[in-house]
């Protein structure tokens, strides 16, 4: 009897231990992510930064090489360097920035040496490097070309917008590389703070049969640009801040958008598909008052942006009919209400299909001001059948702005909303002097109060970025 009782106790104890062990095992979370296919793991890591993805190599043997197959390589400037850039003025700051630059360059080189993928979709470097780093930069460009890169971004502008004299030259016609890079797979190329000549761009356009987007910003080597070819795949072209650029000629049947800031010597050949045009700097100023020079392409435009830094004294502005224009953006630096109202109304009246109108206004002192002007001559009535959205950015409550709001409400039959926004994002700068900050905040608050008052008079107003006291 005693033996029977002891046997039962041992069975119960064994069953209890077995149940406890099973329960403990069930509570341990199974690593299901590591069992996913390699392609899925690579896709997950592609949402991380390069440094975050590289750190996953210590998780387990399964993860050791996964990060080395990520198809997009993004090498951005470290946050520490952004903070230290303000120290450029003193020797210690220069040493800190130089040390951070060397660490970042060495890290990029180690990543490229460890990379296992046969091709890459995107290669992006955003860092303040120049001709002194030519050896490393040439190696990176050749690495990208050997991996059949589809999107190449070289953003070498100085951190914090500091000027750069010795810019890196894109390696197309130089002896620093053993052979010319092969960009036959390239779809998108962005060069910022990088020198490239007109001949270099011509070579890229002729040799890169899939190149659809080309952006060149801040090249000092670009003097004459000719984009000419009926078989070009180029759809989007952006040229800005190329101070030595003297002339541009464009004849490309597939081109959809052209964005340019610079001198006014621009001519168009055969561009039947061009639907978006953005004109800035001297070209924006010139073409606004000589818009008839675009009469051969004006009718086909659907999106137009004009930057006008000085509203001229002429009271009459003539524009050809912009038959298909749907979105118009006007950026103006002006204190003259009457001339500005005449310019805006003339443009709108020439655009019978317009759906959205955006007006961004800065005063000549680069700060909004709250004082209202006297009487302004009202724009003539002109019904608009398609206009739905109006956006007034840099609103301060001037008489002109109120007249414009009244004009749209009376004439826009399909008007849905008028967005009033006192804040111009170009003004959100790190002001160093507290009086400037206080003055700007005070004027924004006054503009907000005026906008709130107008809201009670015009229910269709939509208020944005309003500061309440």
**Is 154 strand, coil or helix?**
strand
Q: Is the dihedral of CA 364, 370, 375, 380 positive or negative?
A: positive
pLDDT(60) > 80: no
According to the model, what pLDDT value does residue 373 have? 47
pLDDT(366) > 50: no
Rounded Cα distance, 132 and 134, in Å: 6
213 or 461, which is more confident?
Answer: 213
Query: Could you give the angle at the alpha carbon of 410 between the alpha carbons of 408 and 414, nearest 5°?
Result: 70
* Per-residue pLDDT tens over the stretch 272-306: 999 999 999 999 989 988 898 999 999 999 999 99
According to the model, what pLDDT value does residue 369 have? 42
Average pLDDT, integer, range 44-72: 72
Evaluate whether 226 touches 198 at the Cβ level (below 8 Å). yes
pLDDT(18) > 80: no
Average pLDDT, integer, range 220-240: 94
pLDDT(122) > 70: yes
pLDDT-above-90 percentage for the chain: 39
According to the model, what pLDDT value does residue 330 have? 93
Question: Which two structure tokens, joined as six digits, stand for 78?
Answer: 């470290």
Which residues face 214 on adjacent strands?
189, 237
* Per-residue pLDDT tens over the stretch 374-387: 454 555 667 888 99
Evaluate whether 149 touches 186 at the Cβ level (below 8 Å). yes
pLDDT(150) > 80: yes
Closest C-alpha to 331, from 285, 292, 266: 285
pLDDT(53) > 50: yes
According to the model, what pLDDT value does residue 100 have? 79
pLDDT averaged over the chain? 80
According to the model, what pLDDT value does residue 171 have? 84
Which residues face 329 on adjacent strands?
305, 358
Q: What are phi and psi of 351, to 5 degrees?
A: -125, 80
* Per-residue pLDDT tens over the stretch 382-441: 788 899 999 998 888 888 888 888 889 888 889 999 998 887 765 544 444 455 556 667
Residue 347: C-alpha distances to residues 44, 121, 309, 316 (Å): 48, 42, 16, 11
Question: Which two structure tokens, joined as six digits, stand for 308?
Answer: 């006008």
pLDDT(318) > 70: yes
Evaluate whether 328 touches 356 at the Cβ level (below 8 Å). yes
């Amino acid at each position: 009897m005693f033996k029977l009782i002891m046997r039962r106790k041992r069975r119960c104890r064994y069953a209890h231990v077995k149940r406890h062990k099973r329960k403990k095992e069930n509570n341990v979370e199974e690593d299901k992510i590591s069992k996913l296919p390699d392609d899925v793991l690579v896709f997950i890591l592609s949402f991380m930064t390069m440094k975050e993805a590289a750190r996953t190599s210590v998780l387990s043997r399964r993860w050791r090489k996964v990060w080395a197959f990520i198809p997009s390589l993004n090498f951005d400037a470290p946050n520490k360097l952004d903070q230290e850039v303000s120290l450029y003025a003193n020797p210690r700051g220069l040493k800190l920035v130089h040390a951070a630059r060397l660490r970042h360059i060495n890290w990029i080189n180690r990543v490229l040496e460890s990379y296992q993928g046969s091709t890459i979709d995107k290669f992006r470097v955003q860092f303040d490097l120049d001709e002194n780093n030519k050896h490393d930069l040439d190696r990176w460009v050749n690495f990208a070309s050997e991996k059949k890169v589809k999107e190449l971004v070289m953003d070498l502008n100085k951190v914090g917008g500091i000027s750069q004299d010795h810019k890196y030259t894109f390696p197309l016609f130089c002896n620093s590389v053993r052979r010319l890079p092969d960009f036959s797979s390239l779809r998108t190329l962005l060069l910022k703070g990088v020198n490239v000549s007109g001949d270099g761009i011509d070579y890229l356009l002729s040799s890169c049969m899939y190149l659809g987007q080309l952006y060149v910003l801040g090249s000092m080597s670009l003097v004459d640009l000719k984009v000419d070819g009926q078989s070009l795949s180029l759809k989007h072209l952006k040229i800005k801040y190329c101070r030595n650029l003297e002339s541009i000629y464009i004849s490309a049947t597939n081109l959809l958008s052209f964005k340019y800031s610079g001198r006014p010597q621009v001519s168009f050949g055969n561009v039947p598909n061009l639907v978006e045009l953005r004109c800035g700097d001297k070209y924006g100023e010139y073409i606004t008052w000589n818009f008839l020079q675009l009469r051969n392409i004006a009718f086909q435009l659907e999106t137009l942006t004009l930057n006008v830094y000085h509203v001229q004294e002429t009271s009459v502005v003539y524009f050809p009919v912009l038959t298909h224009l749907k979105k118009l953006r006007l950026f103006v630096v002006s204190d003259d209400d009457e001339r500005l109202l005449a310019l805006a109304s003339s443009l709108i009246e020439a655009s019978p299909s317009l759906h959205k109108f955006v007006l961004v206004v800065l005063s000549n002192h680069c700060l909004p001001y709250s004082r209202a002007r006297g009487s302004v001559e009202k724009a003539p009535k002109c019904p608009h059948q398609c206009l739905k959205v109006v956006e007034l950015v840099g609103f301060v409550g001037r008489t002109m702005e109120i007249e414009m709001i009244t004009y749209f409400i009376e004439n826009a039959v399909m008007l849905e909303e008028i967005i009033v926004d006192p804040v111009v994002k170009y003004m959100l700068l790190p002001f160093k002097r507290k009086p400037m900050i206080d003055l700007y905040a005070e004027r924004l608050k006054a503009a907000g109060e005026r906008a709130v008052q107008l809201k009670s008079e015009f229910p269709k107003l939509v208020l944005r970025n309003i500061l309440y006291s």
